[in-house]
Structure 1
Amino acid sequence: MKHRDCQIFIKCDGKVLDEHDVQVEDTVISCYIASEAGKEFTLWINNPSSTDISADISVDGRPFPYPSFLSAHQEDTALTYRDNASEIRALMFSDISVTDDESAASILPDASHLGLVQVHICRVQIGKDVPYEPPADVAKNFGPLHEKTKKGGMHCVSFGAVTEIPITTNSMAVLIDKVSSPYVTFNFRYRPQAILQAQGILQPVVAEPPLANLASDISVQRDAPGCAPLEDSTPRSTRRRPAGTIGAEGPRKRPRHGGASSSVSSPLETTTTRHASPVVESKPLVLKDEDVDDEDELNALRAQMRAMQGRMNVLEGRRSHTGRTPVVKRETSPVKAAKFDGDVIDLTGD
C-alpha cells in the first residue's frame, strides 16, 4: 500500500501479497491480506520522500522493542524484529492453538488487534548513534488459548527462526510528528483465505476439470467394447444432411416439451461451451469491535465447512469425469435359438 509518499508491502515466499479492499481514511490506509499458517513473511518499506521517517511496528497488538529509522530517499528496506544486539527473528503466520485447559489464557490483553499488522510512520530528523541497549520488554509468542476466547480457526503472528546480524549502536532521532498523531498509519488485516471468502472480501475459487482430460475420457468411452456409440460431436451449425434425406415435408424436428427445445448437444459441445457464472460484486462485511469474537469464530467454521464441501465437489466431479464405462463380458447362452422359415408363431393361444 502507498499513502502520503510512503509505501509498505508484505512479501511471502518471495512474492508481494495481494492487498484486498484497500480503504483510505485521512491519514490511515487499511487492507486485507490472505495468510497461510506456517509461512514466514517480511515487511518492506520505501521512503521516496525528502524527509527522514521512523516506523513503529506492532503485530497482534505486540509492539516491536525499537522503531526503525529510514533516511530520506531510502527504499527497499526490510522492517525486522530485534530484541537483542546479535540477531533478528523472522515473522510467521501461525494457527491459534485452542484448548479447554482451565489454566490456559482466557483473555487476550488486546483482542481487538488480533489479526492486525500495524505500522505508524512519523517524520523525524535522524541524529547521532548511541551504544545499543537491550530493551526492557520483548514480545512473546502466544501460548494455547482457552476456547472461551472463540479464536479457533484464526491466525496469529509468531516469532520464528533466528538470523545472526549483530549491531553495536542504535540511532537517535527528533520527532517532527507526535507519536499520538502519526504522519500515516498502515493497517494490514490478515485472515485465512477461507475466512476472507466467507466474508465476501475474496471470491471463492471453483476448480474446473481440465478440458483435455474430459475429451480424452470421452474418446476412451467411445472406443470401449459394449459401449453405445456417442452422438457425432460436430457442432450442429456445421452439419450437413446427405442429399435426398430431406423429404417434401421439410427437415424433421424433434418435438418440444414444455416450450423448451429438445435438441441435445454432444458431450464435447457441452464441455467446450461452458461459461463461468457472472461474478456478483459484494461489499465486505464490516464488523463492530464487540461482534468480532463471535463473528470470527462463525466465519472460521463456515469457511472450513465450505472448503470441505468444495473439495468434495471437486473430487466427486473428477471421479465422474474420469470413470470408465464397465465392460460386460457376454457369455454364450445355453439356449439355442431355432431356425424358422419365416412363419409366424402364435404365442397367444392356450
Structure 2
Amino acid sequence: MVNYGGISCWVDIDNSAAMEYDIRTFEDQRIVTCWIASEVGKSFSVSWRNSFLPAPTAGHVFMDGNECGGRVLYGPSTVCAKHEGVTDTRTVKPFVFAPLALTDDDAFLGDSSNHRKLGCIEVAIYPVQIFGLVPVVANSSTLSEIKVHERSKKSVTQQIRLAEPRMLAVPQNAVAHRFTGPPLVTFVFKYRPLDILRASGIIPPPLPPLQLKRKPEAASLPYAEPPSEEDDLSDAEEIRVLREKLYALEAKRARKTRVKEEEENIPPNTAGWSRKKAKLSVN
C-alpha cells in the first residue's frame, strides 16, 4: 500500500493486494504515484483507510479519467473503505481490466487529449461535511469501450471496463456530503501489463532459477571378487616364509655386529699372537 499524511491506499486484484513499484510523492501537489501490474480479465477493487485524521473524509474514484463514485469515512478507524465497482441500491458492476480497442481510422489519430489519463486509477481524498444518509442514485458511469489509434497507444494496451452486475448482500445507502477543502491527497495507480513494466525497467527481471550443485558421482571402481579360502591359505604361507627369512637376516646381522665388537676389544699383543697362530695353523 501507499501512504500519505495518515491515509493509506491500495488496489486488490482478484482479492490479493497488488505490489506497487516506483512509488513517488509530490509534496507540492499532494500526489502519490506508483505502478501496478494488470492482467486482462481480472477484476479489482480500490481500498483506503484513515489512520488518525480527526475528521470525516470522502474518497472519490476515477478510472481512466472517468468519475466512478466513492466512499465516506467518518473518522480515523481500522475499518477501510472498499470500492469495487459502479453501484446502485442492490447491484454492483465490478471493475475489470480489458484490452484496449485499437483502430487504424485516422479520425482517432489526434484524439489524445481525452485519453490523457488512460491507464490510471485515481483516488482523491477530500475533507467533507456529512449531512446524513440518502437513497443511492445510480451512477451514470458506464466505462464504455475506448478506441485509440494504433499509432498513438504507446505503452497503454488495456483499459478498465465494467463486468456483469451481481447482487449485493445488503442494499446500500449513500452519504450526503460536501467538500470543505481541496484534496488532502490524490493516489494515482498507473497500471500496465507485467511484461511492459519489465521491459521499461520499472519491475526488475525475475531471478534466474536456483541452480543446485549436483553431488559428485561415485567413481566407478573395477569389481573385485572376494578372496577364497585357498587364497587365504597361500597368503598365510607366504607371510610365514617371509617372516622366517626376516628372522634369519636379523640373526645374521646380529652375529656380524657381535664379532666386530669382540675384535675391537682384543689387546694389541693378543691380536698379533692370534694372527700368527692363525697363519701357522694354515701351514
TM-score range relative to shorter protein: 0.5 to 0.7
Corresponding residue for 2:13?
12
| Closer/same/farther in 2, CA of residues 36 and 184 from structure 1, 3 Å limit | same
Corresponding residue for 1:57?
61
| Closer/same/farther in 2, CA of residues 147 and 208 from structure 1, 3 Å limit | same
Give the superposition deviation at 1:107: 2.8
Provide the C-alpha distance between the structure 2 equivalents of 1:155 and 1:83, rounded to a whole number of angstroms: 23
| Corresponding position: 1:24 with 2:25 | yes
Corresponding residue for 1:138?
141
Encode CA deviations 1:165-205: one digit per residue, 9 max, x unaligned: 2636321113221xxx3111101111112221222211122
Verify the 8 A CA contact 1:132 1:167 in the aligned structure 2.
Answer: no
Alignment of 1:294-309 (within 5 A): none
| Corresponding position: 1:36 with 2:60 | no
Corresponding residue for 1:211?
212
Provide the C-alpha distance between the structure 2 equivalents of 1:102 and 1:199, rounded to a whole number of angstroms: 28
Corresponding residue for 2:104?
100
| Closer/same/farther in 2, CA of residues 34 and 103 from structure 1, 3 Å limit | same
| Corresponding position: 1:47 with 2:79 | no
Larger radius of gyration: 2
| Corresponding position: 1:197 with 2:198 | yes
Corresponding residue for 1:291?
none
Provide the C-alpha distance between the structure 1 equivalents of 2:160 and 2:189, rounded to a whole number of angstroms: 12
Corresponding residue for 2:176?
172
Provide the C-alpha distance between the structure 2 equivalents of 1:133 and 1:35, rounded to a whole number of angstroms: 30
**TM-score, normalised relative to structure 2:** 0.66
Verify the 8 A CA contact 1:130 1:171 in the aligned structure 2.
Answer: yes
Give the superposition deviation at 1:101: 5.7
- The letter for the 2-side match of 1:175 is F
Judge which range, 74-83 or 35-44, deviates more: 74-83
Structure with higher strand content = 2
Divergent runs of 4+, >6 A: 102-106
RMSD, aligned CA: 2.8
| Corresponding position: 1:78 with 2:79 | no
| Corresponding position: 1:69 with 2:72 | yes
| Corresponding position: 1:163 with 2:166 | yes
Q: How many residues align?
A: 213
Verify the 8 A CA contact 1:97 1:152 in the aligned structure 2.
Answer: no
Provide the C-alpha distance between the structure 1 equivalents of 2:190 and 2:155, rounded to a whole number of angstroms: 17
| Closer/same/farther in 2, CA of residues 10 and 100 from structure 1, 3 Å limit | same
| Closer/same/farther in 2, CA of residues 20 and 129 from structure 1, 3 Å limit | same
Provide the C-alpha distance between the structure 1 equivalents of 2:86 and 2:67, rounded to a whole number of angstroms: 11
SS in 2 for 1:194: helix
- The letter for the 1-side match of 2:186 is T
Give structure 1 stretches of 5+ with no counterpart: 224-350
Encode CA deviations 1:63-111: one digit per residue, 9 max, x unaligned: 11x3321111242331132243221121122221323367889735622
Corresponding residue for 2:275?
none
| Closer/same/farther in 2, CA of residues 93 and 106 from structure 1, 3 Å limit | farther
Corresponding residue for 1:188?
189
| Closer/same/farther in 2, CA of residues 152 and 196 from structure 1, 3 Å limit | closer
| Closer/same/farther in 2, CA of residues 108 and 88 from structure 1, 3 Å limit | farther
Aligned-residue sequence identity (percent) comes to 22
SS in 1 for 2:49: strand
- The letter for the 2-side match of 1:110 is N
| Closer/same/farther in 2, CA of residues 89 and 190 from structure 1, 3 Å limit | same
Encode CA deviations 1:24-60: one digit per residue, 9 max, x unaligned: 1111111111112222111111112221100111011
Provide the C-alpha distance between the structure 2 equivalents of 1:159 and 1:128, rounded to a whole number of angstroms: 29
Verify the 8 A CA contact 1:118 1:188 in the aligned structure 2.
Answer: yes
Corresponding residue for 1:119?
123
Judge which range, 54-63 or 74-83, deviates more: 74-83
Encode CA deviations 1:296-337: one digit per residue, 9 max, x unaligned: xxxxxxxxxxxxxxxxxxxxxxxxxxxxxxxxxxxxxxxxxx
- The letter for the 2-side match of 1:20 is Y
**TM-score, normalised relative to structure 1:** 0.54
